[in-house]
């Protein structure tokens, strides 16, 4: 197999075929592989052995940062930077800082969620080797693909091809990097 090979791609005709193939590949212990489907397939993440997303943890950090930013900003501005007594209220109270802190919690959570999603997904990604596959556009229309990367520790040109054949994959071809 040439140095420039990215991996092996196999074609499946139905979501069910892809789902069961994914279970086989998962159980064979592969780590660096992916499924390509025109639409989301329920339960495919479990069939692929993918755990839950880590994005919520990043969201939580964003939320805490936003809350603390709002509270400390208003505390600094109202108590030190420009103290004015309004309506006989104390110079600082968490009560009137709360709506702003709450809004900033939401804003920073949204930023962290979108940013975290981009970073964990490796986005933006302008090039991906599977785009070299001549039939890849069928993967946005009516066919399903399973790609196993050559960099996977278990990858072996002959055995991996045999596994994909056993899984029911058609037209198993190498794709260029």
Partner 1 sequence: MTPPSTSKALGIGLAGIAVTAAGLLVSGAHVVATAWLVGIGFWTAIAIGMLMLILIHHIFDASWSVVLRRQFEHGVAAFPWLLLLFLPLIAVSFLGAKDTIWPWMNPAHQVNAVHTVRTDILYEKKSDFLNLPFFVIASLGFFALWIWISSRLRKASFSQDQDGDVKWTRMNGRTAGFGIPIVALTLTFAAIYWYKSLEYHWFSTMYGVWYFSDCMRGALSCGVLIQLWLYARGDLKGILKTDHLWAIGQLMLTFTVFWAYISFSQYFLIWNANVPEETFWYNIREYKDWWYVSLFLVFGNFLLPFLLLLSYRFKVTHRIIRRIAYFVLTVVFVDITYNILPALKDPTGHPLPFFSLNLLWAATSVIGIGGISIWAYLRDLPTTKLIPIRDPRIGECLNHDE
Residues that bind partner 1 (CB under 8 A): 42-43, 52, 56, 60, 87-89, 95-96, 98-99
- Find the shortest distance in angstroms from Cβ 64 to partner 1: 11
Phi, psi of 124 (to 5 degrees): -75, 145
Give the neighbor-by-neighbor strand order of the sheet with 5-12. 33-36, 144-149, 5-12, 170-176
Nearer to partner 1, 2 or 87 (CB): 87
CB of 17 to partner 1, least distance (A): 19
Q: Which is nearer to partner 1, 38 or 56 (CB)?
A: 56
Minimum gap (Å) between residue 85 Cβ and partner 1: 13
Burial tier of 161 (Cβ tally within 10 Å: 0-12, 13-18, 19+): middle
CB-nearer residue toward partner 1: 2 or 88? 88
Residue whose CB is less far from partner 1, 71 or 172: 71
Least distance to partner 1, CB of residue 45, Å = 9
Least CB distance to partner 1 at residue 110 (A): 15
């Amino acid at each position: 197999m040439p140095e420039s090979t990215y991996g092996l791609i196999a074609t499946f005709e139905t979501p069910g075929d892809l789902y069961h193939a994914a279970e086989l590949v998962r159980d064979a212990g592969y780590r660096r592989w992916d499924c390509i489907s025109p639409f989301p397939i329920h339960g495919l993440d479990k069939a692929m052995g993918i755990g839950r997303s880590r994005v919520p943890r990043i969201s939580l950090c964003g939320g805490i940062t936003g809350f603390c930013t709002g509270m400390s900003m208003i505390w600094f501005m109202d108590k030190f930077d420009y103290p004015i007594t309004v309506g006989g209220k104390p110079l600082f109270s968490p009560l009137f800082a709360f709506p702003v802190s709450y809004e900033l919690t939401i804003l920073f959570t949204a930023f962290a969620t979108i940013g975290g999603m981009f970073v964990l997904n490796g986005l933006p990604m302008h090039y991906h080797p599977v785009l070299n596959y001549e039939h890849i556009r069928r993967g946005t229309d009516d066919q399903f693909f399973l790609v196993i990367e050559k960099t996977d520790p278990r990858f072996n040109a002959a055995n991996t091809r045999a596994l994909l054949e056993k899984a029911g994959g058609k037209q198993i071809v190498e794709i260029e990097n």
